[in-house]
């Protein structure tokens, strides 16, 4: 596994497994299986309603806690400093962990700065190893960092070949925040797995279109958290570190950028 360094020196895996929409035994088994296959970053959220199952999957894997990087997120129901403080303890209990590696605000909220103060406090207490945000565009991000004392380590956003977010990445990195991509395979929308450009480039490296799409992001320094419950796909998604795209490959894939979201709910922020 390859790692990236956050702005506080913490190392985070460049590839992890997303757990959105995984439930019950499937979630437990998928998390355990992913860890056995070599995944070290597990991403969940209170909004997903599966923190307990993620925690059980981690326990089932019998891995040393120090090897894992666990991310979760708090959301709009914790829209105050006090509620956010309680939410942090709830996540620790649900996950059965002594600390969380990365805790994010799930979306931009008017109350975000006061919620974030609870994250900053928990970070200083050692309950959280790194803190950040999710789904913040350029305007939200630039306003937000004026009100926080700890610059977010991560901004987790929708990013994939059809929504590449070069400008946002540049702004984030100017301030010391790294981008992480949710839905890096666009949830298969637009037949991405049969995209002719990705198929053509993939043949050069004996890689699948999905692997080319993930490598495109990782090579830019963007961590990715693709979701799958299929063992073959889990193995494929993590096997992207034995080749490197050329400048020509990158420029070709850049032409696929439509610069718009695939998910209408994000437009409400």
- pLDDT at 90 > cutoff 80: yes
Write down the pLDDT at residue 36: 97
**pTM (2 d.p.):** 0.96
What value does the mean pLDDT take over residues 216-227? 98
Give the Cβ contact number of residue 192 at 10 Å: 19
Q: pLDDT band at residue 264, thresholds of 50, 70 and 90?
A: confident
What value does the mean pLDDT take over residues 147-170? 97
Residue-wise pLDDT tens digits, 13-35:
999 999 999 999 999 999 999 99
Q: pLDDT band at residue 190, thresholds of 50, 70 and 90?
A: confident
Maximum Cα–Cα distance across the chain: 54
Instruction: Report the alpha-carbon distance of residue 135 to residue 156 in Å, rounded.
Output: 6
Tokens 């923190």, located at residue: 51
Residue-wise pLDDT tens digits, 191-215:
899 999 999 999 999 999 999 999 9
Catalytically annotated residue among 48, 75, 109, 116: 48
Q: pLDDT band at residue 263, thresholds of 50, 70 and 90?
A: confident
- 48 in catalytic set: yes
Residues 138-162: b if buried by 16+ CB within 10 A, e if exposed: eebbeebbeebebebbbbbbbbbbb
- pLDDT at 71 > cutoff 90: yes
State what percent of residues in the chain have pLDDT above 90: 94
- pLDDT at 269 > cutoff 80: no
State what percent of residues in the chain have pLDDT above 70: 99
Write down the pLDDT at residue 188: 85
CATH 3.20.20.100 is held by the domain 9-268: yes
Write down the pLDDT at residue 267: 67
Residue-wise pLDDT tens digits, 116-125:
999 999 999 9
């Amino acid at each position: 596994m390859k790692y990236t360094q956050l702005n506080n020196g913490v190392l985070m895996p460049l590839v992890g497994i997303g757990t959105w929409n995984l439930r019950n035994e499937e979630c437990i088994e998928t998390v355990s299986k992913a860890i056995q296959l070599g995944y070290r970053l597990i991403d969940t959220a209170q909004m997903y309603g599966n923190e307990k199952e993620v925690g059980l999957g981690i326990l089932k894997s019998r891995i040393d806690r120090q090897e894992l990087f666990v991310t979760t997120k708090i959301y709009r129901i914790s829209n105050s400093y006090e509620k956010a403080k309680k939410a942090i303890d709830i996540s620790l209990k649900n996950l059965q962990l002594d600390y969380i590696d990365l805790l994010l605000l799930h979306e931009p909220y008017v109350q975000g700065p006061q919620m974030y103060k609870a994250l900053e406090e928990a970070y200083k207490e050692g309950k959280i190893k790194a803190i950040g945000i999710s789904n913040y565009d350029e305007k939200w991000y630039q306003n937000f960092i004026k009100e926080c004392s700890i610059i977010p380590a991560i901004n987790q956003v929708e990013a994939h070949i059809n929504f590449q977010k070069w400008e946002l990445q540049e702004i984030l990195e100017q301030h010391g925040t790294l981008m992480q991509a949710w839905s890096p395979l666009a949830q298969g929308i637009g037949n991405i797995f049969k995209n002719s450009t990705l198929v053509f480039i993939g043949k050069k490296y004996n890689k699948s279109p999905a692997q080319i799409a993930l490598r495109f992001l990782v090579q830019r320094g963007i961590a990715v958290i693709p979701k799958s419950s299929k063992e073959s796909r889990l193995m494929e998604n993590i096997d992207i570190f034995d080749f490197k795209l050329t400048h020509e490959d990158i420029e070709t894939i850049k032409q696929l950028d439509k610069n718009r979201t695939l998910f209408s709910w994000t437009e409400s922020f």
